[in-house]
Structure 1
Amino acid sequence: MLDELNKYAPREGSSPIKEVLLDIAERGRSLGIILIGAQQTASEVERRIVSNSSIKVVGRLDPAEAGRPEYGFLPPSQRARAVLAKPGAMFVSQPEIPVPLAIEFPFPAWATRESESAGDPLPARNGDPFARLPAVDDEAPF
């Protein structure tokens, strides 16, 4: 797993690690090795690595980046949607399904910040973080 793959396998130039990553991308599946790369701009990653990717996941795209050939697997309508995508929206392309799937990761069921909570926040009683939760009747059957 490599984050910022474009730093380790840039489109321009060469390096020893880039050659290793190319070898993994081109022959890794036959050797049982999986390369997971993450980057914000696939257009800056070595073309042979991107073209050997069997599963591609795309989030929100910059309009200029969406027009690049690396995103040719997305139909024009999904490219347009990727430019306007909300946080958590992704497009997944994989070999078993002929059309990329639009998926959305939901926000957590609980509020992680006071500004995300619904309604006015209630002060916690006696420093109890659970004081805001509704009371539970211990006698009620489950």
Structure 2
Amino acid sequence: MANIQPSECGVFVQIWVDTNALQNGSTTGVYLVDSNHNNGSSAEGTVNLNTNVSTNTKVCWQVLNTNKNWDGELSIQNFSNSAVFGAGGTPTQVDQSTWTGQAQANGAATYGITFNAQPAGGTGISTTVNPVLTVSNK
């Protein structure tokens, strides 16, 4: 499957990171939100975001820093597989901070997103969050 471009996505998930609060292995300072609250998404502003989408919805994930003065880089490293991504929907990388995928199978399942905060001249901090994707025929 070819990479899905963000312009093709119907739902956007943003991972906001407070790099001042982030500690190695901790999700303190990590907040997930999506653009689908009116369609049943819940737990926005937490690491337990439940994004509710229709079958075959294309989704775009992006990691962002709450501190625009931070002298470092945030990047998504990888996604774990999940049954709701189906045979070909597992997210793929578009650029350093953006990945896209497709919800191809009905159900509700957690999936992992590992991202890295790399301070300028410092050691990177890797963190994994495990939100939920709920997919149904609407």
Please give the range of the TM-score, normalised by the shorter of the 2 chains. Answer: under 0.3
The answer to which structure has the higher helix fraction is 1
The answer to which structure has the higher strand fraction is 2
With structure 1 as the length reference, what TM-score do the two structures score? 0.25
With structure 2 as the length reference, what TM-score do the two structures score? 0.25
Bigger Cα Rg: 1
